[in-house]
């Protein structure tokens, strides 16, 4: 196939896909720096008139700083807790044989068949009961619960690949199972842990519907929820909107860009083999 189409063909196809992939982001970036009058000018070429006004408006007039902060706190805290709980559970599933283990694993996998959207109404009612509506703590707890099953299975895959002799040796040296896990196993599993962490951070950062239903007050909105109210009207101001989109995607793009190699091996290992 490749012979019929040659090396040139291969790189043409790869380049076309690359352009298609980055175009929407490039286009948003370009729109975000156009002066207001020229937002609808499709042939705008950045010149001395290019401006960061759209960005300034976001932070000065719409308090996007607060939304970013909320998103950052929720995503970071949820991901840390997920990793903590996930490592403990994954260790048990990777290292112990016990009755009911396969049933527990099946229950973990079964959660992946449940559409997250059906949990929206019940979680609202639950948070209402716990007086955690409209609270970042409530939102964080829900995120943790939703992400623990997948992260645990992913981490289990990584821990399983570490030879058990390593923790056996640590046990001989006077560690108990718990300290062996944190002093010996965790450091070796670090690349896998990092991949799992980024995976859950990205999920939280991008989550819209649960945050939309649970969070009501301006001061507690996460970034996607704020974006939704930002576009609420019929009239969309594309300059401001594209600046906001850029601000919203930059964190995950940077993290992913820095760690992509890591992520790719981590994700595929976790999903395909886990």
> Which residues, other chains included, contact 56 with Cβ-Cβ below 8 Å and sequence gap of 6+?
none
Which is nearer to other proteins, 2 or 61 (by Cβ)? 2
5: exposed, middle or buried (Cβ count in 10 Å: 0-12, 13-18, 19+): exposed
125 near other proteins, judged by CB under 8 A: yes
Q: Binding to other proteins (CB under 8 A): which residues in 143-172?
A: 144-146, 148-149, 152, 165, 168-169, 171-172
Among 142, 154, 189, 214, binds other proteins (CB under 8 A): 142
Task: Tell me whether residue 35 or residue 145 sits nearer to other proteins (CB atom).
Answer: 145
Between CA 129 and CA 13 the distance in angstroms is 55
- Please list every residue from 220 through 249 that binds other proteins, using CB under 8 A: 224, 227-228, 231, 238, 241-242, 245, 248-249
Which is closer to other proteins, CB of 18 or CB of 137?
Answer: 18
- The interface mask with other proteins, positions 3-42, x = CB under 8 A, is x------x--xx--xx-xxx-xx-xx--x--------x-x
Helices (H), 33-110: 53-61, 64-95, 101-110
* Nearest alpha carbon to residue 70 among 198, 200, 207, 197: 207
Q: What are phi and psi of 35, to 5 degrees?
A: -65, 150
Single out the residue of 205, 220, 240, 243 in contact with other proteins (rule: CB under 8 A). Answer: 205
Distance between CA atoms of 160 and 164, rounded to whole angstroms? 8
In angstroms, what is the minimal distance from the CB of 145 to other proteins? 2
Interface region with other proteins, contact rule CB under 8 A, candidates 61-69, 72-80, 140-148, 182-190: 140-148
The size of the interface with other proteins (CB under 8 A), counted in residues, is 95
Q: Can you count the helices (H) and strands (E) in the chain? A: 13, 0
Q: Please, what is the minimum distance in Å from the beta carbon of residue 62 to other proteins?
A: 15
Q: How far is the CB of 14 from other proteins (least distance, A)?
A: 6
CB of 70 to other proteins, least distance (A): 15
Q: CB 267 → other proteins: shortest distance, Å?
A: 6
Report 76-115 residues binding other proteins (CB under 8 A). 84-86, 88-89, 91-93, 96, 98-101, 104, 107-108, 111-115
108: its two tokens: 């973990």
Which string of b and e fits 234-244 if b means at least 16 CB within 10 Å?
eeebebbbbbb
Minimal distance in Å, beta carbon 109 to other proteins?
Answer: 9
Helical H segments across 33-63, by residue range: 53-61
Whichever of 112 and 179 has its CB closer to other proteins, that residue is 112
Count CA within 13 A, CB hemisphere, residue 5. Answer: 8
Query: In angstroms, rounded to a whole number, what is the distance separating the alpha carbons of residues 57 and 29?
Result: 16
Q: Rule CB under 8 A: which of 169-198 touch other proteins?
A: 169, 171-172, 177
């Amino acid at each position: 196939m490749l012979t019929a189409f040659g090396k040139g063909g291969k790189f043409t196809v790869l380049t076309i896909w690359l352009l298609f992939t980055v175009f929407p982001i490039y286009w948003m970036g370009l729109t975000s720096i156009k002066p207001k009058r020229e937002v609808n000018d499709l042939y705008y070429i950045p010149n001395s008139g290019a401006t960061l006004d759209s960005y300034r408006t976001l932070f000065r007039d719409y308090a996007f700083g607060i939304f970013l902060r909320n998103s950052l706190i929720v995503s970071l805290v949820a991901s840390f807790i997920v990793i903590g709980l996930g490592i403990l559970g994954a260790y048990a599933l990777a290292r112990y044989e016990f009755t009911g283990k396969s049933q527990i694993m099946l229950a973990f996998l079964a959660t992946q068949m449940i559409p997250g959207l059906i949990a929206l109404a019940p979680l609202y009612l639950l948070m209402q009961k716990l007086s955690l509506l409209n609270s970042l703590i409530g939102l964080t707890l829900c995120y943790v619960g939703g992400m623990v099953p997948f992260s645990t299975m992913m981490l289990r895959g990584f821990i399983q690949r570490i030879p058990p002799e390593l923790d056996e040796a640590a046990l001989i040296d006077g560690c108990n199972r718990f300290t062996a896990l944190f002093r010996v196993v965790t450091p070796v599993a670090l690349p896998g842990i990092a991949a799992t962490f980024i995976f859950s951070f990205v999920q939280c950062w991008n989550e819209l519907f649960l945050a939309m239903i649970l969070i009501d007050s301006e001061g507690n909105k996460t970034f996607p929820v704020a974006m939704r109210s930002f576009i609420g009207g019929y009239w969309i101001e594309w300059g401001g909107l594209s600046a906001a989109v850029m601000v919203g995607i930059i964190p995950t793009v940077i993290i992913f860009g820095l760690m992509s190699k890591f992520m790719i091996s981590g994700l595929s290992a976790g999903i395909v083999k886990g």
